[in-house]
Amino acid sequence: MVGSGVDIPAEHAAALVDPGAYADGRVLRTYAWLRANNPIGRAHPAGFDPFWVITRYADVHEVSGDNKRFPVGNRSVTLVDKASEARIRAVTGGSPRLARSLVAMDPPEHMKYRLLTHSWFSPKNLAKLDERIATLARGAIAKLRGKTSCDFVAEVALGYPLEVIMSMLGVPQEDFGLMLNLTQRAFAPLDPDHRPKDIDVDDPEAYAKALRAVSSELHAYFARLTEDRRANPRDDLATVLANALVDGAPLPKTNLMGYYSIIATAGHDTTSTTASAVMLALATQPDLLRRVQADRGLIPKLVEEGVRWASPVKCFMRSPTEPTELGGRRIEANDWMMLCYASANRDESRIADGEVFSIDRPAFQHLGFGYGPHVCLGQHLARRELIALFEALIPALKLVALAGEPQMTKSYFVNGLKYLPLRYELWDTPMPFAA
């Protein structure tokens, strides 16, 4: 019952489901209020089923690490309004998901599927790609030469990690742009710069319609890729997935398409979001660039702080299998729970001045890649890509500053910079890192 003491004030509940609140920073103020006043509270936003909002580090960490108590279950793993969920269930025969990816699987199924590609994303295997990644990073920076201004998101951050993961997956270069477009539509389906023009945001089923449209295009594309790789196997992830067996049988279509989609979308978007966040920090903190130029060893810290501060995936949903207690609250079986990673990564009980981008923090196990059984499969690849990018960029930068107002995507799922205007100067010859 609303007003029982556990319930979140209406204005904060509304912010949690408003894509615009993630673009203009209001959701960060909501997170801060919730951590201080109601860290495990219940939201009743209009048009959505009620859900618990988990905002402190310890609680998000506990839930993420305990897949037995808090599985994916039979609810959507991403936040979706009631009208859109009803439409999705209608077209899937009752499932809340248009595709079943790793993030939507519980044990023992989850591990069986994760192991199909685990070796590809292991540090040992990725070490073989270091030279290729470094070459792509230098190529991304080369695009900045001959100019004094750019939109860093469009000209560097989006294309570089996209090329890395698409090459691993086996998508031909002429389709990279298509994959970028589909990713942006999948992660920010209602953002005005990404949604299809025929989607009316005032339609109560707009979210589901936008997701279904992009899901259909992804499925059609990867169905063609599967057919090709079964006939013409290659040394790529598409061949692994197209010919994979789980319990002796080929992957069901819904699971196969979900697997392709999660690699093709999350495999680059969260990395590009972090790269842009780090660049924003370099552009707005002049001393930061000089410090890192003087000490190459600070680049991994720069990257980790970028992941923490950006927290590209803002939330995932969970549901307990039986009544349980968390942080003094009783949560019933099948209740919906929102894990707020960006809030947990700013929790005052674990980190000081969490709203500030700083590389001077003590070691901190941030939750930017998640935690527990569902920790990001591609986290090691993301770190390698980001380190390589800034190892190429930082010695080349003479100066960098904002050239306009940055803009964020309007999305309550994956959210980050979509526009980062910079003015800059590059050295004619990259300066070596200080000894």
Q: What is the pLDDT of residue 74?
A: 77
Q: Does pLDDT of 3 surpass 70?
A: no
Mean pLDDT computed over every residue of the chain: 92
Q: Greater confidence, 184 or 290?
A: 290
DSSP 239-266: HHHHT-EETTEEPPHHHHHHHHHHHHHH
- Per residue in 38-88, pLDDT (tens digit) is 999 999 999 999 999 999 999 999 999 999 999 987 789 999 999 888 888
Q: What is the pLDDT of residue 4?
A: 57
Cα 42 to its chain centre, rounded Å, is 24
Q: What is the pLDDT of residue 211?
A: 79
What is the rounded (10 degree) CA torsion for 137, 260, 305, 435?
Answer: -30
Q: What is the pLDDT of residue 433?
A: 67
Task: Give the pLDDT band (50/70/90) at residue 2.
Answer: very low
Give CA–CA dist 55/73, Å, rounded.
21
Q: What is the mean pLDDT of residues 343-353?
A: 96
Inter-residue contact 177 to 161 (CB < 8 Å): no
- In single-letter form, the type of residue at position 88 comes to I
Give CA–CA dist 256/242, Å, rounded.
8
Q: Which two tokens stand for residue 327?
A: 């942080």
Q: Does pLDDT of 116 surpass 90?
A: yes
- Per residue in 386-426, pLDDT (tens digit) is 999 999 999 999 999 999 999 999 999 999 999 999 999 99
270 CB neighbour count, 10 Å cutoff: 25
Q: What are the residue ranges spanned by the domains of the chain?
A: 10-426
Q: What is the pLDDT of residue 180?
A: 87
- Per residue in 183-239, pLDDT (tens digit) is 888 877 778 877 777 776 677 777 778 878 888 889 999 999 999 999 999 999 999
Q: What is the pLDDT of residue 1?
A: 38
The superfamily in CATH containing domain 10-426 is Cytochrome P450 (1.10.630.10)
Closest alpha carbon to 31 in 363, 355, 356: 355
Give CA–CA dist 386/379, Å, rounded.
11
- Per residue in 130-186, pLDDT (tens digit) is 999 999 999 999 999 999 999 999 999 999 999 999 999 999 999 999 988 888 888
Terminal C-alpha separation, the chain: 63
Instruction: Give the CB-side neighbour count of residue 309, counting CA atoms within 13 A.
Output: 24
Q: What is the mean pLDDT of residues 425-431?
A: 87
| 3-class secondary structure, 209 | helix
Q: What is the pLDDT of residue 333?
A: 94
